[in-house]
Amino acid sequence: MDLEKAQSAADGTLLVAFHADAGFGGTSALIKGKDGPCDTEGYGLRDMGTLEGWYYTVDPVGMWTLQNASSYRVFNGCNETIMFTAGNYGGVSSGSRFGDQSSVGDPFNDQIRSMLLKAG
């Protein structure tokens, strides 16, 4: 599976829903993948600031970036995630986390810059 393959609304599979507030509150953004559910190779979100080439929706529509996420829910087999404080999977790593995260905690709150998602 190409980790950086462009995503499309027509055939996208819901992978993760990011939320601006802890406890899955506030503005949310849904990220969909083109290559179906997560497997052990997974998906990579290399630059959370732009997500260029990815299909995502923000509700309600407004000026919010995914870098300001405080919680997230995972879908379609993406039960293992690794967050990073820098783009291209650099900076501080969260190590593997499993399932939904009602609070990403420090130093990741409002600081997620890249992320890996896969079946764990």
Q: What is the pLDDT of residue 48?
A: 83
Instruction: Determine the distance from the C-alpha atom of residue 48 to the mean position of all C-alpha atoms in its chain, rounded to a whole number.
Output: 8
9, burial (CB in 10 Å: exposed 0-12, middle 13-18, buried 19+): exposed
81's tokens: 């995630």
State the pTM of this model. Answer: 0.84
The verdict on whether omega for the bond into residue 37 sits within 30 degrees of 0, i.e. cis, is no
The two beta strands, 97-98 and 25-33, are: unpaired
Q: What is the pLDDT of residue 24?
A: 96
CATH topology classification for 13-118: Gamma-B Crystallin; domain 1 (2.60.20)
What are the pLDDT tens digits along the chain (120 aa)? 333 443 344 468 999 999 999 999 988 888 888 888 999 999 999 888 776 666 566 665 554 567 789 999 999 999 999 999 999 999 999 999 999 999 999 999 999 999 999 998
Beta-carbon contacts of residue 9 (< 8 Å; ≥ 6 apart): 32, 55
In eight-state DSSP terms, residue 102 is S
Q: What is the pLDDT of residue 40?
A: 93
Q: What is the pLDDT of residue 5?
A: 41
Q: What is the pLDDT of residue 76?
A: 96
The CA distance from 72 to 70, in Å, is 7
